[in-house]
């Protein structure tokens, strides 16, 4: 990937479509059609507005939906309205501009946007691990090194899952040139793998469930990114101004959302029932949602000493990797990328 492409990516031109692509892929996987509003900018920073990178009805936003369904936001005195943007960078731009008090994005988003003048920080991260897993068809490969010369599907070359793949390859002395990495979109990333047309996929938990539903004979080796490359989970972001001027609002939104994640961790099955009630598009999918939530609990949410706490070393090491790979042009002081004041 050229430096020019990477620079364009993190100016927000390319990465803005990533969550929208995920939205389409997950919607199709669930047999439903979600109509994304594209950008529906929040015109004023209303107390209960929460900006997400894609429609709130997607499985990845389980903690938010469970928190809403169980009244955790209401308990904080908030009437939360979810709005959808055009991906994580668009969320960051809207939040940075004061158009919403908080938003959802991947935990590395502040690394990617602050170099372009977008004043946002991560204020909580939903899990102690990476969102990405490398999933291998064990009939074709059982280790990363055995993927040399083989096909790995990824959603896009501008996606966090692809960057995690690069990091995992690098940990084994390999590069993107050692595999045939195919950017095939959010549906084919798992469909081609399930159909035996790819040897591995760089995946999020949802796609693992979808692939095994499509091909029940698949024998998988799931390699968490964390084993070799510590990338980030989903996060809650807020602007510097909102953190300074409305800290209590941020704290309430963070606290309620993390309670939603904790509910999934404590009882994925019960949380799935509440999720399906809150998301009519998934009617009858309680069993599938339970399995998706179990994957999130095992591979993403677990092992935070303090729930929601951001690991400074993980964030710093990730920024160093992005700089070395040419993904960002310069480093941002680590204190400008995150704060843990709302999760203590």
Are 99 and 144 members of one domain?
no
Are 17 and 123 members of one domain?
yes
**Beta carbons of 75 and 44 less than 8 angstroms apart:** no
Cα(130)–Cα(344) distance, rounded to whole angstroms?
Answer: 22
* Rg, C-alpha atoms of the chain: 19
Are 64 and 211 members of one domain?
no
Are 285 and 208 members of one domain?
no
Is 343 part of a structural domain of the chain? no
Are 8 and 117 members of one domain?
yes
Are 269 and 214 members of one domain?
no
Are 60 and 173 members of one domain?
no
pLDDT mean values, one per 10 residues, the chain (344 residues): 38 41 43 37 51 84 95 93 85 92 92 94 97 95 96 87 92 95 91 97 93 94 94 96 95 96 98 94 94 96 95 96 91 97 93
Cα(341)–Cα(118) distance, rounded to whole angstroms?
Answer: 20
From the CB of residue 214, how many other CB atoms can be counted at a distance below 10 Å? 14
Give the strand pairing for 102-106 and 49-52: parallel
The predicted structure's pLDDT at residue 47:
53
Q: Which two tokens stand for residue 130?
A: 């990476």
From the CB of residue 313, how many other CB atoms can be counted at a distance below 10 Å? 9
Is 17 part of a structural domain of the chain? yes
The closest of 193, 125, 123, 106 to 338, measured between CA atoms, is 123
- Write down the pTM of the prediction: 0.84
What residues have CB less than 8 Å from 149, skipping those under 6 apart?
A: 178, 179, 180
Is 344 part of a structural domain of the chain? no
Is 45 part of a structural domain of the chain? yes
Are 161 and 124 members of one domain?
no
DSSP H helical segments within the chain, as ranges? 3-9, 18-29, 62-69, 72-75, 88-96, 109-113, 160-171, 185-194, 205-214, 240-245, 247-266, 268-278, 286-296, 312-324
Is 236 part of a structural domain of the chain? yes
The predicted structure's pLDDT at residue 11:
39
Is 341 part of a structural domain of the chain? no
CA atoms within 13 A on the CB side of 322: 32
Are 313 and 250 members of one domain?
yes
Backbone angles phi, psi at 238, to 5 degrees: -145, 160
Give the strand pairing for 180-183 and 151-154: parallel
Q: Looking at the 3D structure of the chain, how many domains does it have?
A: 2
Are 247 and 303 members of one domain?
yes
The CATH number covering residue 288 comes to 3.40.190.10
By three-state DSSP, how is residue 259 classified? helix
Is 26 part of a structural domain of the chain? yes
The predicted structure's pLDDT at residue 158:
75
Backbone angles phi, psi at 71, to 5 degrees: 80, 20
Cα(18)–Cα(244) distance, rounded to whole angstroms?
Answer: 30
Show which of 179, 195, 227 is a domain's final residue: 227
Alpha carbon of residue 90 to chain centroid: 14
The closest of 144, 156, 160, 131 to 199, measured between CA atoms, is 144
Is 116 part of a structural domain of the chain? yes
Are 138 and 17 members of one domain?
no
Helix (H) or strand (E) holding 208: helix 205-214
The closest of 115, 340, 132 to 238, measured between CA atoms, is 340
Q: Which two tokens stand for residue 313?
A: 């070393």
Show which of 194, 227, 260 is a domain's final residue: 227
The predicted structure's pLDDT at residue 17:
41
The predicted structure's pLDDT at residue 327:
86
137-149 burial string, b = 16+ CB within 10 Å, else e?
beeebeebeebee
Show which of 202, 227, 252 is a domain's final residue: 227
Are 219 and 289 members of one domain?
no
From the CB of residue 332, how many other CB atoms can be counted at a distance below 10 Å? 15
List the domain range (segments joined by +) for residue 282. Answer: 3-129+232-336
């Amino acid at each position: 990937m050229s430096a020019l492409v990477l620079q364009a990516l993190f100016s927000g031109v390319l990465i803005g479509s990533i969550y929208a692509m995920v939205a389409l892929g997950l919607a199709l996987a669930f047999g439903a059609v979600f109509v994304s509003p594209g950008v529906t900018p929040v015109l004023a920073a209303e107390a209960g507005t929460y900006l997400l990178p894609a429609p709130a009805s997607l499985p990845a936003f389980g903690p938010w939906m469970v928190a809403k369904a169980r009244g955790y936001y209401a308990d904080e005195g908030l009437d939360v309205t979810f709005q959808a943007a055009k991906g994580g960078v668009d969320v960051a731009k809207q939040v940075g501009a004061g158009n919403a008090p908080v938003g959802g994005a991947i935990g590395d988003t502040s690394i990617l946007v602050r170099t372009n003048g977008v004043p946002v920080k991560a204020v909580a991260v939903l899990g102690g691990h990476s969102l990405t897993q490398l999933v291998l068809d064990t009939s074709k490969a059982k280790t990363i090194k055995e993927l040399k010369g083989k096909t790995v599907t990824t959603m896009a070359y501008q996606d966090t899952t692809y960057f995690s793949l690069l990091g995992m390859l690098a940990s084994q002395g390999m590069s993107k040139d050692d595999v045939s990495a195919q950017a095939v979109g959010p549906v084919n990333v798992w469909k081609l793998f399930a159909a035996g047309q790819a040897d591995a996929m760089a995946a999020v938990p949802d796609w693992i469930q979808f692939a095994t539903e499509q091909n029940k004979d698949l024998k998988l080796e799931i390699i968490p990114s964390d084993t070799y490359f510590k990338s980030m989970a989903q996060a809650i972001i807020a602007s510097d101004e909102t953190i300074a001027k409305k800290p209590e609002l941020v704290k309430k939104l963070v606290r309620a959302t993390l309670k939603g994640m904790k509910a999934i961790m404590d009882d994925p099955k019960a949380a799935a029932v509440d999720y399906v009630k809150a998301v009519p598009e998934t009617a009858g999918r309680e069993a599938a949602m339970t399995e998706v939530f179990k994957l999130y609990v095992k591979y993403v949410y677990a092992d935070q000493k303090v729930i929601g706490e951001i690991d400074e070393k993980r964030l710093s090491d990730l920024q160093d990797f992005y700089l070395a790979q040419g993904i960002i042009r310069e480093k941002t002081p680590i204190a400008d990328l995150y704060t843990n004041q709302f999760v203590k």
